[in-house]
Amino acid sequence: MNCYLEAKAGTEREAVAVCAVCGMGLCMDHLTEIDNPPAASVGLMGDRPHMAILCPRCAHQPGTPWPEVLTRLGVGGGP
């Protein structure tokens, strides 16, 4: 898979991640890592900190309620 934003610009670069919100393929130059507090999850992950990979559009969406989005994705600390 190639980076969508590179392909849109007319270049080809391999994607190393996928946006957790919209599914866009991303190269290292276009991804954003979002760190959040530990989630109360069951299983092997326990209560260790989690991270989400996002594209520039999803990472910088004005007014995005990140705690709620990350909880919905299963990587955030819920209420």
Q: Where do we find the tokens 């299963």?
A: 74
Q: What pLDDT tens digit does each residue of the chain (79 aa) get?
A: 999 999 999 999 999 999 988 899 999 999 988 876 444 444 555 556 667 788 988 887 765 555 566 666 655 444 4
Domain boundaries, given as residue ranges, for the chain: 4-72
3, 6, 18, 31 from 12: Cα distances, Å: 7, 6, 16, 16
